[in-house]
């Protein structure tokens, strides 16, 4: 849980947008747990930094799973929010993820296409090779970028944004993400994270029309650190 502004890693901020490097365990929006969401922490940060007397506006554009780390964009103005939403819908925001997996993928690079069906009762998605009732098509591209001592580092780019998409699709080819008990990894990470990181984002600023390119530092962890050596 984020408890104060000192735990907030701000990667980019202007009048319209703020981009945070989310830690494992933080939730982006409030949910049934009642835990304080990242959106509230960011509001408190803005209120204090700019000495705002009234309520702070903050629009949630997208989410990351609770055990996942990396880039999260929030809109600071009502002008930016619908424009950012439109960029996501039109796939004009390019997001790159890094994932650490135990098993080597069948190919060093490839495209995975599945139909994912979400089960709300257990908050899991199941990957099907053909379309089934109430399923959504999911497409991602991956490549192996490093072989570690006991793991493989994959770079993943999404074409669609489905529930638990990277987690379930990689698991379906025998490559569950390190620490992801829900999708077949055999043990948890010590901090309850999974080794999936939203590392890079590129888009055209929805108001200023400038190119934005941001990298999120990796979690400070022995295996993540090995990815950079």
CA separation for the pair 133, 111 (Å, rounded): 23
Of 67, 74, 85, the C-alpha closest to 38 is: 74
DSSP 33-95: T-PPPHHHHHHHHHHHHTT-SSPPP-EE-----TT-EEEEEEESSTTHHHHHHHHHHTT-SEE
Dihedral sign for Cα atoms in the order 83, 89, 94, 96: positive
Q: Where are the alpha helices (DSSP H) in the chain?
A: 38-49, 80-89, 165-172, 222-226
Is 65 labeled as catalytic in the residue annotation? yes
Number of Cβ within 10 Å of residue 93's Cβ equals 20
Given 31, 35, 40, 65, the catalytic residue: 65
**Which residues form the catalytic set?**
65
């Amino acid at each position: 849980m984020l408890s104060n502004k000192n735990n907030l890693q701000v990667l980019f901020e202007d009048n319209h947008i703020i981009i945070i490097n989310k830690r494992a365990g933080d939730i982006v929006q409030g949910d049934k747990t009642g835990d304080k969401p990242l959106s509230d922490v960011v509001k408190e940060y803005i209120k204090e930094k700019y000495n705002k007397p009234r309520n702070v506006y903050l629009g949630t554009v997208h989410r990351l799973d609770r055990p996942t780390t990396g880039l999260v964009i929030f809109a600071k103005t009502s002008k930016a929010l619908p424009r950012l939403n439109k960029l996501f819908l039109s796939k004009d925001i390019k997001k790159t993820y890094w994932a650490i997996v135990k098993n080597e993928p069948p190919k060093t690079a490839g495209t995975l296409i599945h139909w994912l069906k979400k089960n709300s009762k257990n908050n899991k998605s199941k990957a099907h090779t053909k379309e089934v009732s109430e399923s959504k098509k999911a497409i991602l591209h991956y490549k192996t970028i490093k072989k570690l001592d006991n793991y493989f580092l994959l770079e993943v780019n999404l074409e669609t944004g489905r529930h638990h998409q990277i987690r379930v699709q990689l698991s379906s080819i025998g490559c569950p993400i390190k620490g992801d008990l829900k999708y077949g990894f055999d043990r948890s990470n010590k901090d309850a994270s999974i080794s999936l990181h939203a590392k890079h984002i590129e888009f055209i600023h929805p108001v200023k029309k400038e190119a934005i390119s941001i990298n999120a530092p990796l979690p400070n962890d022995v295996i993540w650190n090995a990815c950079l050596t």
